Amino acid sequence: MITYLKLFLEFFHIGLFSFGGGYATLPFLYHIADVQKWYTTKQLTDMIAVSSITPGPVGVNVATFAGYTTAGLAGAFIATTAVILPSLILIIIISKLLEQFRHNKYVKSVIYTLKPAGCGLLAAVGVNMFINSINLFGIVLLVGLFIASITEKRDPLFYLGVSALVGLIAGFFNLTG
Amino acid sequence: MEKTLYQIFKTFFKVGTLLLGGGYVILPLLQSEIVDKKQWINDDELCEYYALSQSVPGIIAANTAIFVGYKLKKTPGAIVATLGIVMPAFISIILIAKILEEFVKMQFIQSIFWGVGIGVVLLIYLAVKEMWEKSVVDKFSCWIFFITFILSTCFKAPPSALIILAIFIGLWVQYQKKIEHEEEE
């Protein structure tokens, strides 16, 4: 019971504090791996990989997955509900006060400082993931993907598909270790 | 088409199922489903909700769904839109997580994850780049970016502490402006 309550509070807090989209939940999930030890960083990296290639917003997928890993089906349900609840409550309130919200100077100023902070947090996760999972061949793959991304704007699934395929092939030649 | 709660749920369930590889495709999907096909709202309204969704905490795709759901049928609309967008994600993870426990130790699955992990690093880079263009508009916001980045990478500062700090800085900036403004008068 205590685990469920803790799970609810942790994910409610993620829903309330993550700014900048689905991947913005990742800094919080890594922090949980460090502090609560419900899952390891390696497990989380696998969860992110699966979440990126399954239907639904990545932030919801990864919350469901982390909840499931921590406490099974009930955990998945609690984590998903908790991560979405702050958005639901806040947006219903904001929609009622839409005009005031849009023109309030303090709201504008807070958004002005929150956006770069959310961006900085996400950049930190990117750098950590890069350091943790990369080897020489990984750098080759990443550079390849990077070049593909600057030549043309492509669907995210294109990068994930290509990198999954390259990973599969590289695995046969033991290049992924 | 009629805006019943069931229709709203069904539409967002469909959009949720088609959301692959990150929530960033929510805008084109909603444009085709609720602006072009069903004509529930117009393009300007949708773009505004999408922009607002980024100024509210949480997952942007879900936030957009909640805004649109509320616009269509007030609070019940917001609730069914949320259920619709979340359920495909929930169901697919529950199904996959069970199977995955068996397969995760297999070498070829680990190889695929390794590859996808690198793909995700690129997607994060692209997301950061897009956010940077929208958020780092002057020297001050650039400082906030780097301070957050360094506190997070080097000192493992809790993310929510950094977000709260940013909120206070935002309030302080506006408070200072207000004081300056009053002094001028």
Phi, psi of B19 (to 5 degrees): -75, 105
The DSSP call for residue B35 is I
The helix (H) or strand (E) run that includes residue A54 is none
Backbone dihedral region for residue B61 (phi beyond 0: left; psi -120 to 50: alpha; all else: beta): alpha
Task: Quick: pLDDT tens for B83-102.
Answer: 999 999 999 999 998 888 78
* CB distance A142 to A134 below 8 Å: yes
Percent share of chain B, pLDDT over 70: 97
Cβ–Cβ under 8 Å, residues A117 and B145: yes
Nearest CA in chain B to A98: B52
- Closest-CA distance, B95 to chain A, in angstroms, reads 10
Any CB–CB contact under 8 A between B89 and chain A? yes
Answer yes or no: is pLDDT of A81 > 90.
Answer: yes
**What does pTM read for this prediction?**
0.86
Report for A9-13, A25-29, A117-121, A152-156: range of highest mean pLDDT: A9-13
CB–CB of A82/B108 below 8 Å? no
For tokens 């100077």, the residue is A105
Q: How buried is A93 (Cβ within 10 angstroms: 0-12 exposed, 13-18 middle, 19+ buried)?
A: exposed
Q: What is the ipTM of this complex?
A: 0.86
Structure tokens at A115: 């956006």
Name the residue facing B57 among A23, A87, A105 (closest C-beta).
A87
- Residues B133-171: pLDDT tens digits? 888 999 999 999 999 999 999 988 888 889 889 999 999
Kindly determine whether residue A115 and residue B111, on different chains, have CB atoms separated by under 8 Å.
no
**AA letter at B57:** P
Sequence-separated (6 or more) residues with CB below 8 Å from residue B180: none
Q: Do B58 and A56 touch (CB under 8 A)?
A: no
Nearest to B161 by CA among A86, A13, A79: A13
Q: Given this model, what pLDDT does residue B24 score?
A: 62
B59 at interface of A, judged by CB pairs closer than 8 A: yes
Q: Can you tell me the distance from the alpha carbon of A131 to that of A124, in angstroms, rounded to the nearest whole number?
A: 11
List CB contacts of A97: < 8 A, sequence separation 6 or more: none
A74 Cβ under 8 Å from any chain B Cβ: no
- The answer, yes or no, to whether residue A4 has pLDDT greater than 90, is yes
Residues 35 through 54 of chain B touching chain A, CB cutoff 8 Å: 52, 54
A135 vs B contacts (CB less than 8 Å): none
Closest to B59 (Cα-Cα) out of A60, A117, A121, A76: A60
Radius of gyration for the alpha carbons in chain A, expressed in angstroms and rounded: 18
B101-127: pLDDT as tens digits: 788 888 888 898 889 889 889 988 988
Say if A16 is an interface residue toward chain B (CB within 8 Å): yes
Is A167's CB within 8 Å of B120's CB?
no
Query: Whole-angstrom Cα distance, residue B149 to residue B67?
Result: 30
Please tell me what DSSP assigns to residue B37: I
A/B interface, count of CB pairs below 8 Å: 371
| Interface check A168 vs B, CB under 8 A | yes
- End-to-end, the C-alpha distance of chain B in Å comes to 55
CA distance B22 to chain A (A): 5
Q: Band the pLDDT of B175: cuts 50, 70, 90.
A: very high
